[in-house]
């Protein structure tokens, strides 16, 4: 493919935070999905494999089916034949779309008899996966494309899979999912705007604002600003991070803009805050 995204593009990334990978394994080869912060969906495009985890051992997955790998577990996949896999990874279930019903159906979780199992592709999902496979084979690494396809995937789950299948598939995510407050706190350091935070948490901006107000009794912007102030003060008083690095980290236009921010919210210039913190440490030694 001749028309590639340049690596200098801000949306070009080798490993999007939410996105897809296309993986091929020869018979007998293994793939390990380590436990971590991301959840994974393993879509088997061709062949068959055996998967083992804390949930179930030596479970055989057939072509045209997928399984959900919860972030708290480690999964080992062994190819029983040559296989093609599309792997989707994401942090929160859902998308920036109010039609995603995950939050409204979680209350039914206790009615589900959960067992780790595979789910068959339907036609819309198969079409999505074939397009993702084509993009990956052509080395398309645009983060916008990956995020859009993840959102499309969850919309397909909403429209073409029953709530019961959704709940059975994502049971671990719903049953043990971090609270909304934890989700916000864990993801806030990754983003710079309320819109980005709502998106990474998997909610529309309107739904996110409503939930945020109920949980924190504050607006997302105000809360994020307070967190920003606390973290900047910590960097100035507890670390030796250069001022120019902090300015760049928090997107201040220049040193004057940063100094104005510190005087407004911390009542002193950044140099004075750091100088006083160092003097205090020396006095305590």
Report the pLDDT value the prediction gives residue 99, as an integer from 0 to 100. Answer: 39
**Res 147: pLDDT:** 86
| Residue 279: Cβ-neighbour burial (10 angstroms; 0-12, 13-18, 19+) | exposed
pLDDT surpasses 80 at 95: no
pLDDT at 154 > cutoff 80:
yes
Q: Is the pLDDT of residue 17 over 80?
A: no
DSSP-assigned beta bridge partners for residue 23: 85
Between CA 28 and CA 82 the distance in angstroms is: 8
Higher confidence at residue 279 or residue 50? 50
Q: Residue 16's pLDDT band (boundaries 50, 70, 90)? A: low
Q: Does domain 221-284 have CATH number 1.10.8?
A: no
How crowded is residue 207: how many other Cβ atoms within 10 Å of its Cβ?
A: 18
pLDDT of residue 31: 97
pLDDT of residue 93: 66
Class of the CATH-defined domain 19-176: mainly beta
Phi, psi dihedrals of residue 197, rounded to the nearest 5°: -65, -45
Instruction: Show me where the domains of the chain are located.
Output: 19-176, 180-217, 221-284
- Checking if the pLDDT of 98 tops 50, the result is no
Q: State the Rg of the chain over Cα.
A: 23
């Amino acid at each position: 493919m001749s028309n590639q995204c340049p690596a200098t593009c801000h949306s070009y990334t080798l490993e999007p935070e939410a996105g897809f990978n296309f993986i091929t394994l020869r018979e007998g080869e293994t793939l390990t999905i380590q436990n971590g912060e991301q959840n994974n969906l393993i879509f088997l495009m061709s062949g068959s494999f055996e998967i083992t985890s804390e949930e179930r051992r030596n479970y055989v997955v057939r072509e045209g089916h997928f399984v959900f790998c919860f972030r708290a577990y480690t999964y080992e996949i062994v190819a029983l034949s040559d296989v093609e896999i599309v792997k989707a990874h994401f942090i929160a279930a859902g998308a920036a779309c109010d039609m995603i019903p995950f939050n409204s159906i979680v209350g039914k979780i206790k009615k589900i008899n959960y067992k780790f199992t595979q789910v068959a592709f339907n036609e819309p999902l198969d079409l999505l996966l074939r397009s993702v496979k084509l993009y990956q084979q052509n080395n398309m690494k645009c983060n916008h494309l990956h995020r859009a396809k993840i959102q499309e995937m969850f919309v397909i789950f909403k429209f073409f899979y029953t709530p019961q299948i959704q709940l059975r598939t994502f049971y671990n995510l719903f049953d043990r999912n971090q609270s909304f407050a934890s989700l916000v706190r864990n993801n806030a350091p990754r983003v710079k705007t309320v819109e980005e935070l709502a998106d990474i948490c998997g909610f529309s901006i309107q739904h996110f604002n409503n939930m945020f107000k109920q949980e924190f009794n504050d607006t997302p912007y105000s809360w994020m600003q307070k967190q920003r102030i606390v973290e900047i003060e910590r960097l100035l008083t507890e670390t030796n991070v250069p001022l120019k690095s902090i300015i760049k980290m928090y997107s201040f236009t220049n040193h004057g803009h940063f100094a104005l921010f510190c005087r407004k919210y911390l009542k002193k210039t950044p140099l004075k805050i750091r100088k006083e913190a160092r003097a205090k440490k020396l006095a305590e030694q």
